[in-house]
Structure 1
Amino acid sequence: MQDPPDPPDSESPTLADFIGTRDSVFVLRDPQLAKTGSQARAQLRSLPFLAQFGLDRVAHPGIYDNGLRLVEYKLLPNEDLRANGVANVGFPLIHYVSQEMLTGELRDDESVYDEQDVVRRLLRKRPDGVPYVIVTDTGSPKMPRHTRKPGKSFVDEFECTVVEYKGLLKRYLQYNLDSDLPLSSTQNLYFHQISAHHKRLGLDAGSIPDLFDYTQLPADSPAWDPIYYLIREDADQVLEDYTERIREALRSWTERGPTQKIANSMLDMLEWVDYEEERLDAYRYRHQEDA
């Protein structure tokens, strides 16, 4: 597995330049994708990092789309790729697929997640030099129907660079952000961006719940964005248990620890403004004037 060079090329915005490679197919290893059942969460934690490099077309299982997007992106559900093929898929592309999804070992009541044929076709279809980022839980993803030699993976057949997500994020933070959050608390760049923003303003920024204390937030804090998103997504407030709704919305983005506290803070603010965007605007900016 390739270790990225140090320091990164901060003048170039491409992922390849940051990693230090001429390849355009990347296997980004994030062990979080291996977790299933009640442990499955934070599968999309790498997406805010990848979005920094202009990558916004994303394929992932529909179950990851829980009604909250911490970054904007164009979604291609993996289920649609299996059903409809890849003829109309554009690149650059980020593709979230675990080893169990590749081999069909992951299944639920509705689907068998067998992505081997899809990934193989995308690897062949991709135009030269255009990024295809495969986020998975292993550095040697295997597709046994297509790679028949025991122990071999598609990285032995296609030119690609294998990197550890945690190492890339650590390096990005070292050279680009002064976050007060320890990497052990979250590997989602979005939360580190908020921490760095709040730290510059002299606010508490060392824990994730601190970042969502809406009684203290400056008007330009990125932490306001999810509140607007939730209001727009659930304008009719049809769900009775809104706390559960927010917890589920955060599930694909957050590791286990802080989710409940973030959900409580968001719910308190939503109830305070009665789920109305105009009232949220008024509170957000009046609060800063009164501070």
Structure 2
Amino acid sequence: MKRENQSQVTEFVLIGFSIFPDLQVGLFVVFLLMYIVTLAGNLAIMIIIRIDRRLHTPMYLFLGVLSFSETCYSLVIIPKTLVNLVVDIRTISFTGCATQMFFFLGLGGTNCFLLTLMGYDRYLAICHPLHYASLMSRQIFIKLVAGTWLSGFLLSLVETILIFQSPFCSSNTINHFFCHMRPVIKLACTVDNTIETVISLVSIVGLSGSFLLIVLTYIFILSTILWLPSACGERDKAFSTCAAHLTVVIMHFGFASIIYLKPNSPGVSDDDTLISVPYTILTPFLSPMIFTLRNKETKIALKKAIGREITLVHMV
């Protein structure tokens, strides 16, 4: 009976921003421009780190991995959203919805874990500088990065299976612009809310745990920085290397907590569509700019890369 009921729904309809018909064209232009800047920014970071050997350190390699993850994260959501803003039929297949949710949750979880590792890396570099090379060797770096991707997608796989094993036998209209967990769960024709409770607990533990670990590392970092002599400039350098990461952490976890730690309501409101925009579109858009503009070495490397390109153009 469960499979029979579930088979009745073969596709979903994404309501998305159709509830704001007068804003469709404007949203398409804004989102498209932000998407182009997001791709360009993350691509620039990855290229700069790749070609500048001075940036081949764990701190910048973590940033390169994060840029790659955020690029994939944007690809999962924004292109489909842009298409739905200019077409009348906003459908997504049952399998397509499950796939989108799997990659969205997997990449989102991976980003959280990467930001946590970046905080841990700064903790080792500032609090244990003499042992940093051995504590964050190339082999350890590779294992940590592989662990973040594996953990993020393993949790995503569990959550996606739990959601889509439920029977969907009535409405197939998702009041959102992508296959978000909460509106999809609400379409399941079951009175058992165990799955929703389990997924909420996983989200709370994942977000809160990662954020608390970052806070803990920065408590140790701050206590160490305050002991550094201000005259030698090491204190300013330490603050500078942490500023961009801490800014992105606050933005990323702040927007994520609004979505995933929000109390459940009897119905899905229009606000759920709007409050997801900062986390899914604005955060990937701002993140590369923050890391580039607030980091001295990446700015220098970017200026040099641009200078080389201009020189080549003039030579041609």
Give the TM-score normalised by the residue count of structure 2. Answer: 0.25
> Comparing both structures, which one devotes a greater share of its residues to strand?
1
Give the TM-score normalised by the residue count of structure 1. Answer: 0.26
- Of the two structures, which has the highest relative contact order with CA contacts closer than 8 Å and spacing of 6 or more? 2
Question: Who wins on radius of gyration, i.e. which is larger?
Answer: 2
> Comparing both structures, which one devotes a greater share of its residues to helix?
2
